[in-house]
Structure 1
Amino acid sequence: MKRVIILLFLITFFMKQGLSQNKPVAKVEKIYIEYKGDSVEARRLTVSSMIPIEIARAWTNVQTPELLQFVAKGMIKFKSVDGEGFPKKWQEGQTYGAKMRVFGFIPFGGIHYLNIVKIDSANYQISTKEWDKSAKVWNHDVRMEAIGTDSIYYADSIEIYGGFMTGFITAFAKLFYKHRQKRWQIVARENLEFGK
């Protein structure tokens, strides 16, 4: 019952925010996190939207590097530093390294490391700890919840710290995650499946 009330509240809230048209909504908060033994000012970025896709299909897709490449296309291109490339599916406990190119050709941040901390199939959540030269902390949680049988509430929540560049990195991340969630709409509309 509690979950139903929360889902109804979320639906009502996000419809008022414009998500009835499946537009991503972004929120940025100042937070304090521990970094190398010090308390530092960071940002928490949350971008959320409603996506017209069955949760099982969304969950299968989100576990693949191929989906990441698709939703990032146009803003960031990831190239594995491992000679074998990315796996078909992300593996919990593994750390992957990638070179990032903004807009497909501008190198940024050196090697970006992505550690898959948790893949929780029961609750449709993935948590990563990520970092590179610029983004010293990039802790990312993906969460999805079914809304009926053919739609989901989808949220990316990212803790970001990059020293004096924190504000700039957060502003870019806001654009990037809105872009990603708009590309998710294409995945839903065209019934795309990844990782086969």
Structure 2
Amino acid sequence: MKTKKIVKSSLFPANKEEIFLKLQKIETLQYIAKPFARFIPLDDNQSIKWKEGAKLSFRLYIFGFIPFGTHKIDVISFDKDSGISTLENNKHIPIWNHQIYLEPVDEGTTRYSDEVEIGASCKTPFVALWAKAFYTHRQRKWKRLLRN
């Protein structure tokens, strides 16, 4: 299947350690994704542990209310220095491979980069367009979160 790669980077007003701590919380994902997407753990009692080897499942809602099925996330690596890598998919988008990199710029600034490989057959160009807007939105929300 042909895939499309999306790359988005921003300078965040925080050090790498502070950002990495927030990356470990499900509440951070839920905040930065809203209103483009809503992630609800499939099992309400599911203890969310963002760590290498974790296999997580969520009910995904596009724009917060359009059901998009079960979204599965396999965490391949989760490391502050080498980055975060996940293999993700759902019935509409079989390939959504996500990488996050944190690169210190100075004491209080970090370059945060999202790289996403998307494969959704004939829907790939449309999904990629949505993903570009989604990751721009996420990084804008990240900056707001880090300033508060």
Matched length: 148
Match of 1:165 among 97, 105, 123: 123
Offset at residue 75 of structure 1 (A) = 1.1
Once the two structures are superposed, the pairs formed by residues 18-167 of structure 1 within 5 Å of their partners are: 40-87=1-48, 89-108=49-68, 110-123=69-82, 125-167=83-125
Contact kept in structure 2, 1:114 and 1:130, CA below 8 Å: yes
Structure 1: tracts of 5 or more residues without a match? 1-39, 191-196
After superposition, the C-alpha distances for 1:23-46 in whole angstroms (9 at most, x for unaligned) are: xxxxxxxxxxxxxxxxx3210100
What's the Cα RMSD here? 1.1
1: CA distance, partners of 2:80 / 2:16: 11
Superposition misfits of 4+ residues, deviation over 2 angstroms: none
What secondary structure, in the 3-state scheme, does the structure 1 residue paired with 2:2 have?
strand
Q: Which has the larger radius of gyration?
A: 1
2: CA distance, partners of 1:139 / 1:46: 12
**AA in 2 matched with 1:181:** Q
Contact kept in structure 1, 2:14 and 2:110, CA below 8 Å: yes
**AA in 1 matched with 2:73:** L
Task: Answer 1 or 2: higher relative contact order, Cα 8 Å, separation at least 6.
Answer: 2
**AA in 1 matched with 2:90:** D
Contact kept in structure 2, 1:65 and 1:86, CA below 8 Å: no
Contact kept in structure 1, 2:16 and 2:80, CA below 8 Å: no
2: CA distance, partners of 1:111 / 1:78: 9
1: CA distance, partners of 2:131 / 2:65: 18
What secondary structure, in the 3-state scheme, does the structure 2 residue paired with 1:41 have?
coil
2: CA distance, partners of 1:143 / 1:151: 14
